[in-house]
Chain A
Amino acid sequence: GESVGLHLPTLSVQEGDNSIINCAYSNSASDYFIWYKQESGKGPQFIIDIRSNMDKRQGQRVTVLLNKTVKHLSLQIAATQPGDSAVYFCAEIRDTGANSKLTFGKGITLSVRP
């Protein structure tokens, strides 16, 4: 079936380095992609989004890249900080006409070494 998934379950980076979190999706009809950050004991928090007709979007210290040819999404975090330690999820939104549906992939844990 259709799915949104992540390549690796954990990622460990040195504080100050850049982090790259990758995600593969299988539904080419997705309209929108979102990256969420989830800290322990909290719900997912919106980080950045990108429409399916774009290939790059930048925010504050974060950049999302979308490659529709290979159905690949990535989140880049510049100058990773200890506060970035969390589980990250990519998610897709499909507009079904009458409604829009958010589907999450599996999470990847980002661990920042001091």
Chain B
Amino acid sequence: EAGVAQSPRYKIIEKRQSVAFWCNPISGHATLYWYQQILGQGPKLLIQFQNNGVVDDSQLPKDRFSAERLKGVDSTLKIQPAKLEDSAVYLCASSLGGRLSSYEQYFGPGTRLTVT
């Protein structure tokens, strides 16, 4: 079965510019997650969707980050405007769904963002 797809794989932007990342989860997976992984650290959850609804966005910096999953399948994560500290790998993950969905998450390869 195809895994979680993400694009682009790499992105370099200047601070104050905008950037968007795209994620296509595994077919049939209702739950989708976006994580931020700063170099040398574990991934940190930014937002969790169940179908097209937000379950948890408590750690999303909402003044500059936004995410949507309009049709309950693909998702985009946007940063506007970017700051130097946003340099990180942005990981998308998906799972079948339900209350115990965190137990079996499948991760994409990530998008490495460099803000200069």
Tally of contacts, chain A with chain B, CB under 8 A: 58
Is there a chain B Cβ closer than 8 Å to A100's Cβ? yes
Within the complex, what minimum Cβ distance (angstroms) separates A78 from chain B? 25
Beta-carbon contact of B103 and A43 below 8 Å: no
Residues in B8-34 with C-beta less than 8 Å from chain A: none
- Return chain A residues, CB-CB under 8 Å to B109: 41-43
Interface membership of B101, Cβ < 8 A: yes
In the complex, which of the residues A46, A99, A106 contacts B56, with contact meaning CB atoms closer than 8 Å? A99
In B45-67, which residues have CB < 8 Å from any A CB? 45, 48, 55-56
Q: Is A95 an interface residue (CB 8 A)?
A: yes
B42 with A43: CB separation less than 8 A? no
Measured between beta carbons, the chain A residues less than 8 angstroms from B105 are 102
A46 to B103, CA, bound (A): 10
Q: Is B76 an interface residue (CB 8 A)?
A: no
> Shortest beta-carbon distance, A46 to chain B, in Å?
8
Known: A95-B99, A100-B99. A44 touches B43 (CB 8 A): yes
| A43 B108 Cβ-Cβ under 8 A | yes
Cross-chain contact of B42 among A41, A49, A89 (Cβ < 8 A): A89
Are A102 and B102 within 8 A (Cβ)? yes
Interfacial chain B residues near A89, Cβ < 8 Å: 42-43
A61 in contact (CB, < 8 A): no
Rounded to whole angstroms, the CA-CA distance of A84 and B36 in the bound complex is: 24
In the complex where A42-B109, A43-B93, A43-B109 touch, is A106 in contact with B42 (Cβ < 8 A)?
Answer: yes
Q: Answer yes or no: A98 CB below 8 A from chain B CBs.
A: yes
CA distance A105 to B110 in the complex (A): 18
Whether B100 lies near A95 (C-beta < 8 A) is: yes
A105–B107 alpha-carbon span in the complex (Å): 16
Report the 8 A-B pairs with minimum CB-CB distance, sorted nearest first: A104-B42, A43-B107, A100-B102, A102-B102, A89-B42, A44-B107, A104-B43, A93-B102
Q: What are 19 A-to-B residue pairs whose CB atoms are below 8 Å?
A: A41-B110, A42-B107, A42-B110, A43-B91, A43-B107, A43-B109, A44-B43, A44-B91, A46-B104, A95-B100, A99-B48, A99-B56, A100-B99, A100-B101, A101-B56, A102-B45, A104-B42, A106-B40, A106-B42
